[in-house]
Amino acid sequence: MNNNEIYILGGHQTDFSQNLYREGGSISELFISTVQQGLVQSQLEPASVQVGHVGNFVGELFVGQGLLGGFFGHVDPAMANMPASRHEAACASGSMALLAAMADLESGRYDLACVLGIEVMRNVSGALAAEHLKPAAWVGKEWQQSEYLWPCAFSEIVDIYQQKYALSAQYTNAIAQQNYANGKRNPNAQTRSWQFEPKSFSPDETKNPIIAGNIRRQDCGQITDGAAVVFLATAERAKRYAKERGIQLTDIPRIKGWGHINAPLLFKNKLATNDPQGYLFPHLRQLFQQTLHRAQMQSIEQLDGMEVHDCFSITEYMIIDHCGLYSPGEAWKAIENQDVMPGGRLPINMSGGLIGLGHPVGATGVRMALDCYKQVTGCAGDYQIEQAKNLMTFNLGGSTTTCASLIIGR
């Protein structure tokens, strides 16, 4: 394994409440302005960036635009001939861009990389957006009769937890309610001005209607326009950056551990894995273990918080169930005991997550990394975790097909 340390020098996130095309914008303008603002906020010169990586899932379907790496050349003339590439792994596309940039730096090819995640999704109807997102499942084989494929798919996970562990909807409702509450403290959250009432998190067919199966409206992550960028550097480059600014290298967050795992595309194949410990998806547990191991950590208890993939409330519940706080099937204890709430043992999605903050698919993995950077530098504002030193991302694509994670700390 390569032990070269990778540092995060800074970044920028757009306002996820923006409806880009309604406001007369374009994906090219979103790309260019996000990188430009990231450079300014990180105090970096465009000419110092040596390579670019872009995470994007379905630019061709939503806006008819591919070859997104070419837009780096329009950010600044100094980036006109900079090498760049794009990465796709459904909702984990941003994490794949991050891992590819890390590999570039670890190889010694470059010392400073720009990683952008971007997606535009609000320019079409909800029904067409759902259609565009279907290719993350096996087309023609899974859930193809459902108007809304992904709520249908994750409803199956609710079914399994109900049958196997008698899961009560009160716990998934609590996750959704908390993530919306967290989003209200985030100035970039898509839902920060939304208003709810108690029936919004209940089986009320008017306030919280069924979308598919056991998935109701408030269980769902958001269809979002947005982008996030971070700048990764080798240790030598980070040392120069620190010296130029009169700070210590230890003041700059670094990636302490990472995980990346794939599972078969078909959902039924994932479920066919028999795990003697009782984990529903053993590969998710494996991802936690390999990430902690690479960070030289023994337990999830050594983390101060997590940013995880709550595309639906059951997804966050499932991730909690595999993290190791409690035995499989006992994730409800983490919610009932307030462990994963603000001020708890392991606060999760203080940003609001995909439910409260928003989910521009290709940007989510990068946005998670940026929020972890903010937490460990004490720059998360009203959603800051007190004395946060180490945070973990957990990003997945498809029906847990591509999964990735980072531990970011100082």
pLDDT at 3 over 80: no
Contact present, 293 and 256 (Cβ < 8 Å): no
pLDDT at 1 over 60: no
- Residue 5 tokens read as 């340390």
Angle at the Cα of 321 (from 182 to 259), degrees rounded to 5?
Answer: 85
- Residue 274 tokens read as 């028999």
pLDDT at 245 over 80: yes
Q: How far apart are the first and last CA of the chain?
A: 21
Average pLDDT over residues 310-330: 97
Q: 392: which strand partners?
A: 306, 407
Handedness of CA 268, 269, 272, 273 (dihedral sign): negative
Read off φ and ψ for residue 258, nearest 5 degrees: -150, 155
Average pLDDT over residues 29-36: 98
Q: Please tell me the predicted confidence (pLDDT) of residue 2.
A: 56
Q: 118: which strand partners?
A: 227
From the CB of residue 176, how many other CB atoms can be counted at a distance below 10 Å?
27
Distance CA 30, CA 285 (A): 36
Average pLDDT over residues 174-188: 98
Q: Please tell me the predicted confidence (pLDDT) of residue 380.
A: 98
Q: Please tell me the predicted confidence (pLDDT) of residue 273.
A: 83
Our measurement of the distance from residue 32's CA atom to the centroid of its chain's CA atoms, rounded to an integer in Å, reads: 21
Q: How would you classify the pairing of strands 226-234 and 254-262?
A: unpaired
Q: Residue 147 — pLDDT band, cuts 50, 70, 90?
A: confident
pLDDT digit string, tens, across residues 353-405: 999 999 999 999 999 999 999 999 999 999 999 999 999 999 999 999 999 99
Read off φ and ψ for residue 234, nearest 5 degrees: -70, 170
Average pLDDT over residues 294-316: 97
Handedness of CA 286, 298, 325, 363 (dihedral sign): negative
pLDDT digit string, tens, across residues 249-294: 999 999 999 999 999 999 999 998 878 899 999 999 999 999 999 9
Instruction: Please classify residue 326 by burial: count the beta carbons closer than 10 Å to its beta carbon, then call 0-12 exposed, 13-18 middle and 19+ buried.
Output: middle
Place of tokens 């101060």: 304
Q: Please tell me the predicted confidence (pLDDT) of residue 4.
A: 85
- Mean pLDDT over each residue of the chain, to the nearest integer: 97
- Specify the DSSP class assigned to residue 273: -
Domains of the chain: 6-124+224-245 (3.40.47.10)
Distance CA 296, CA 291 (A): 9
Distance CA 222, CA 264 (A): 26
Contact present, 410 and 376 (Cβ < 8 Å): yes
- Residue 279 tokens read as 């984990």
Average pLDDT over residues 148-162: 97
Q: 248: which strand partners?
A: none
